[in-house]
Structure 1
């Protein structure tokens, strides 16, 4: 079992830190900035034992160099030579042991072509954990900077097949904006309306809105619901040329979100 906590970075990034409860050796996911990581390490007397990377964007990789300058630690990440500092290249369906837990590597192209996610059955509170970078957010998904709607659909479908109690550790605090859009797509979704109220309360108290759970996302996230009648209708209203397939629905609502 892992203890997992967020380290805020930049305006809205989360660098996830995890370790076993009986250890001071910690791992971090997507450290775009070394400074907040070093501050947490110092204040809690933790030892940085390794780094996990989901994709090449600088707000996820920018701290690698500084964090490894005086540390001989593993850096796990996708097979992309543009990411400086990777010591352990990972590919789809690889399994690696990190902090005493087995992580399965899932290729999730869409946001970027090199994007991977890390899944373990041994997360916090005996719940599975998914470190999904910028593929899946609370109420949303990543922009299609490099991949296609079809690639993103298949990546999200793969994540949707994980256990419902999987906790979703995404890399950004985008929840309020995502849920505002989700309501535009599904204004009659009662579970979504309830989540909007819950998130507003968390934000008023300056609390993180993540992690989410996969079960919750399947109820409220339009990008995981592109086969649902109300989402299909919203996409068709937005773009009458849509063929109503889940891939095309996702394409339409992702383009809609880009300009929302």
Structure 2
């Protein structure tokens, strides 16, 4: 729904918004919340121009309002993580058997050379804010780390410090992979760059720093690379992914991160933002196996059992671009370095938010009500039970001297599961093609029309 300030209610909402974003205070947060109440209650009028929601969204994405005020209000840091990360860790390539990947990695680091998976990389989900995930890719070969969407630098560097202590290895952050421009994904880039610059200056001038800064700076390398879309232009980006760098159907060399040890394929996935990217990380380039695994970082274009809000979708072709990427075996289920095929069940899907229980609850009801075909219905039901169980299980972790019980994270899913259960990926392509034909005939298809097909179509 596009909202405007043409009538009285819209004008009132506009005033509330302006008050909220002009000065940071609790009262102004209340004013901003009132806009949301008006929006979701349906009291705001709908007309064609100008779109009120577009104004709010533009303000959020801007540096002057969103970067300075709104991101701190909407995405505050938390002292306690929302989930226990450990069950979501994965080694690539994986160790044999049903083992704790995190423990295997720590043991391999402590006893270098004694394990056949010494050259594996470890993916560590890092819970940040109320429900976001950042991800860390640890390479023991180079002792460097690549991070996906490290929007909360303090939490990210604390996790690197924790893994460094547990593994007896001094890891440092060398690369950032930014899926899109929103503040809960890109908001930490500039602070990490600042720490990287300070480290470079300290190394050159041998200047002492205050203990807090020095402690954080220890885990950031000088010359930090922030990799992001030229279309989206996430704040702090210093290495641009252009159209020529994107993998389309059978070409495009991977980028190498963590000191050249981890190959990563960049994949275009427009809709949530125009320049949204996914990243497929493969096994270290020193490893060559027939049966391999990979990690696909989707940002907010796809969640476990759902898809992100299509804030910047321009047409149905954008949706088809993302849909086709997930069904293109070269793009999402082949090794980024060797091109070797990877079984879809071994492609770990790591998403941007912990929404799984809510999304699968809604999806389960939808699949029953809309009478989806039997196979997708069964997969949805099984995944709903899995995520409910994980969120009910609470394992204790030690934070300093205090033990905290946290629900288990529901990531990763797998490419195989998402192709069968995810409402966007399980819908028949023909349903989206028909919607595109309607768009070509009428010159207009709304986001609501697109979402209706994705969530309610029985063509699965």
Q: TM-score range by the shorter chain?
A: 0.7 to 0.9
Q: 1:184 aligns with which of 344, 365, 379?
A: 365
- Verify the 8 A CA contact 2:187 2:235 in the aligned structure 1: no
Q: Residue 251 of structure 1: CA displacement?
A: 3.1
TM-aligned CA distance change 1:150 to 1:184, over 3 Å: farther
> Is 17-26 or 188-197 further displaced after alignment?
17-26
- Verify the 8 A CA contact 2:181 2:235 in the aligned structure 1: no
Please give the per-residue CA displacement for 1:30-73, whole angstroms capped at 9, x wherever unaligned: 11111101211233333111111011000001111111212121
Count of residues in Structure 1 that have an aligned counterpart in Structure 2: 241
How do 1:196-211 and structure 2 match up within 5 A? 196-205=384-393, 206-211=407-412
Which residue does 1:160 correspond to in 2? 327
TM-aligned CA distance change 1:81 to 1:144, over 3 Å: closer
Alpha-carbon separation, structure 1, partners of 2:352 and 2:256: 22
More helix by share: 2
1:129 and 2:295 are equivalent in the alignment: yes
Alpha-carbon separation, structure 1, partners of 2:264 and 2:151: 21
Alpha-carbon separation, structure 1, partners of 2:121 and 2:153: 22
More strand by share: 1
Please give the per-residue CA displacement for 1:105-145, whole angstroms capped at 9, x wherever unaligned: 1111011001011113328x931211111111110111100
1:65 and 2:190 are equivalent in the alignment: yes
RMSD between aligned residues: 2.7
Alpha-carbon separation, structure 2, partners of 1:12 and 1:55: 17
Which residue does 1:109 correspond to in 2? 270
Alpha-carbon separation, structure 2, partners of 1:69 and 1:181: 42
The higher relative CO (CA closer than 8 Å, separation ≥ 6) is in 1
Q: Residue 22 of structure 1: CA displacement?
A: 4.0
- Verify the 8 A CA contact 2:304 2:413 in the aligned structure 1: yes
Which residue does 1:35 correspond to in 2? 154
TM-aligned CA distance change 1:37 to 1:150, over 3 Å: same
Which residue does 1:239 correspond to in 2? none
SS in structure 2 at match of 1:186: helix
Alpha-carbon separation, structure 2, partners of 1:250 and 1:138: 19
1:98 and 2:298 are equivalent in the alignment: no
- Verify the 8 A CA contact 2:136 2:145 in the aligned structure 1: yes
> Is 36-45 or 190-199 further displaced after alignment?
36-45
- Verify the 8 A CA contact 2:298 2:352 in the aligned structure 1: yes
1:53 and 2:178 are equivalent in the alignment: yes
Greater Rg by CA: 2
Please give the per-residue CA displacement for 1:12-45, whole angstroms capped at 9, x wherever unaligned: 1000000224443111101111110121123333
Alpha-carbon separation, structure 2, partners of 1:215 and 1:184: 21
Q: What is the TM-score with the length of structure 2 in the denominator?
A: 0.49
TM-aligned CA distance change 1:248 to 1:154, over 3 Å: farther
Which residue does 2:127 correspond to in 1? 8
- Verify the 8 A CA contact 2:180 2:232 in the aligned structure 1: no
SS in structure 1 at match of 2:311: coil
Which residue does 1:225 correspond to in 2? 426
Which residue does 2:227 correspond to in 1? 76
TM-aligned CA distance change 1:228 to 1:109, over 3 Å: closer
Q: Which runs of 5+ in 1 are unaligned?
A: 233-246
- Verify the 8 A CA contact 1:226 1:250 in the aligned structure 2: no
SS in structure 2 at match of 1:31: coil
